[in-house]
């Protein structure tokens, strides 16, 4: 089920909302109230824990006993299950209050943190098809809905820990902004691209990303954009954000990085808080307490290195001992041997040349030149023949597509590879191999582990859907 989250400011109330296809029935609004709040107020184990961990140290009150008058009486809202109260507030304590306390200090968090949390089991359904996930009233009270679906054993997903904590950090960012306004240069980064009707079907995730927004909702207005940036950086983490950036179009990458820089600067200038230290504390809590793991770092993939024009060459030398140790695919080896034999046995014999190595040369992020080093007819000099390809590399999934560079022009197109000695053989053997499939760029061979000093010094490509077809060689960086 796909959900879209919305944060709306109405007066002093900040409302967290989502569009969902769930029905009210799934929230079990028709409940037996006798199964809730049966313990005497203030005497339960939950009450004692809330008192010792939140009320005494932070002066924060948590209201979880169902009271119809504390929320919109026109809405059908279910009470929170007692066994969800402590896990929910433990997450708030460990992933929000304590990190801020450690990095920003007791005075900061005790002064600015909301003083009351009100918990409800179901979401609050709205007439426009959306549901409210939470509200922050005047910076002093936070109401969390949908707590019964919270799963503290799950980090990701709509009901996981990250989703709830993004709400908390988003709303707290609004509170900070009420005390110290957002720098004016933040709005200017994507001014003109904000879109109040952010739920419109034209505002897809991909469109928002292409315009330099961290989420669909961030397009709503610049204050929500700032809160979304802060919450995603803190809760999703830097690796997630870096992955999001590098998989966006170049213009969007620049905007996202500028916004990131302003967020980090704001925390330092406004509150003397080192945002990077705070981010580390939040992420450490996720990992140590909730077994969260960073996603695969796309910035350190071969596809991204190619996309960022970092790679100069990848060279296949069939005489290298690396292939004796780690092997090479029979498909690629056959293509290379067929090409080599065709060039070295062609008639007339004066046209014969003797290929030695095959090198992929990345002159830019979208051009690859296939270079064959070879011995001349007399086998006394080493020369090279080039053949040019257009290149498309996708950082998100590592996919790489090569296509023949056009137009060819004269007989010397593609450099020396366009001569009579090579062109026909290039196009008979190497061209179809490189252009008739989708490759995945990767750190090959797979036998070199991430702890090996050779890791990321070798790399290459395997065929998508046919991993047994691959080639690789040592990488030279620019």
What angle (nearest 5°) sits at the alpha carbon of residue 14, between those of residues 205 and 28? 80
Of the three residues 297, 325, 344, the one that is the final residue of a domain is 297
Q: Is 436 exposed, middle or buried (0-12, 13-18, 19+ CB in 10 A)?
A: exposed
Each residue's pLDDT tens digit, 277-302? 999 999 999 999 999 999 999 999 99
Whether 203 and 269 share a structural domain: yes
- Per the DSSP assignment, residues forming a β-bridge with 462 are 440, 470
Local confidence band at 6 (pLDDT 50, 70, 90 cut-offs)? very low
Q: Quote the number of domains for the chain.
A: 2
Statement to judge: residues 48 and 156 lie in one domain: yes
Are residues 208 and 322 part of one domain?
no
**pLDDT of 416 strictly over 90:** no
Q: What is the C-alpha separation between 416 and 12, in angstroms, rounded? A: 71
Span 439-453, pLDDT tens digits: 999 999 999 999 999
8 and 66 co-located in one domain: yes
What is the CATH number for 22?
Answer: 3.40.390.70
**Residue 135 pLDDT class (50, 70, 90 cuts):** confident
> How long a stretch of residues is the chain?
478
List the domain range (segments joined by +) for residue 430.
Answer: 303-477
Domain stop point among 265, 297, 329: 297
The domain boundary, picked from 297, 324, 339, lies at 297
Query: What is the pLDDT at residue 5?
Result: 36
Query: Looking at residue 66, what is its pLDDT?
Result: 84
Quick: pLDDT tens for 163-186: 999 989 998 999 999 999 999 999
């Amino acid at each position: 089920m796909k959900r879209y989250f919305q944060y709306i400011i109405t007066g002093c109330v900040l409302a967290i909302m989502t569009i969902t296809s769930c029905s009210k029935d799934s929230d079990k609004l028709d409940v037996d109230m006798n199964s809730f709040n049966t313990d005497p107020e203030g005497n339960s184990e939950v009450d004692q824990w809330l008192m010792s961990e939140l009320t005494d140290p932070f002066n924060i009150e948590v209201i979880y006993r169902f009271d119809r008058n504390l929320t919109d009486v026109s809405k059908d809202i279910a009470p929170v299950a007692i066994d969800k109260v402590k896990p929910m507030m433990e997450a708030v304590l460990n992933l929000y209050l304590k990190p801020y306390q450690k990095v920003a200090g007791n005075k900061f968090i005790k002064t600015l943190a909301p003083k009351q949390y009100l918990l409800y089991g179901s979401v609050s359904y709205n007439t426009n098809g959306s549901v409210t996930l939470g509200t922050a009233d005047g910076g002093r009270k936070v109401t969390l809905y949908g707590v019964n679906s919270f799963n503290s054993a799950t980090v990701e997903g709509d009901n996981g820990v990250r989703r709830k904590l993004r709400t908390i950090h988003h709303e707290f960012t609004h509170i900070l902004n009420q005390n110290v306004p957002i720098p004016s240069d933040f709005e200017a980064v994507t001014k003109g691209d904000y879109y109040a009707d952010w739920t419109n079907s034209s505002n897809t995730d991909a469109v928002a990303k292409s315009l330099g927004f961290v989420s669909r909702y961030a397009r709503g207005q610049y204050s929500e954009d700032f809160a979304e940036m802060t919450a995603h950086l803190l809760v999703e983490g830097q690796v997630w954000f870096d992955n999001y950036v590098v998989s966006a179009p170049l213009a969007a990458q620049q905007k996202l990085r500028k916004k990131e820089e302003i967020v980090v600067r704001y925390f330092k200038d406004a509150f003397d808080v080192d945002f990077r230290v705070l981010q580390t504390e939040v992420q450490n809590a996720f990992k140590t307490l909730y077994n969260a793991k960073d996603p695969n770092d796309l910035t350190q993939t071969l596809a991204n290195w190619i996309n960022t024009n970092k790679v100069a060459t990848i060279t296949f030398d069939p005489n290298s001992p690396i292939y004796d140790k780690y092997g090479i695919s029979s498909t690629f080896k056959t293509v290379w041997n067929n090409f080599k034999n065709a060039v070295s046995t062609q008639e007339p014999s004066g046209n014969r040349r003797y290929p030695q190595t095959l090198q992929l040369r990345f002159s830019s992020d979208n051009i690859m030149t296939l270079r064959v080093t070879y011995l001349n007819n007399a086998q006394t000099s080493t020369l090279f023949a080039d053949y040019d390809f257009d290149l498309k590399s996708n950082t998100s999934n590592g996919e790489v597509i090569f296509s023949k560079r056009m137009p060819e022009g004269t007989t010397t197109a593609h450099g020396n590879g366009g001569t009579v000695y090579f062109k026909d053989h290039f196009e008979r053997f190497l061209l179809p191999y490189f252009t008739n499939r989708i490759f995945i760029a990767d750190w090959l061979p797979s036998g070199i582990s991430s702890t090996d000093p050779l890791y990321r010094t070798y790399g290459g490509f395997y065929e998508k859907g046919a991993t047994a077809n691959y080639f690789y060689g040592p990488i030279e960086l620019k």
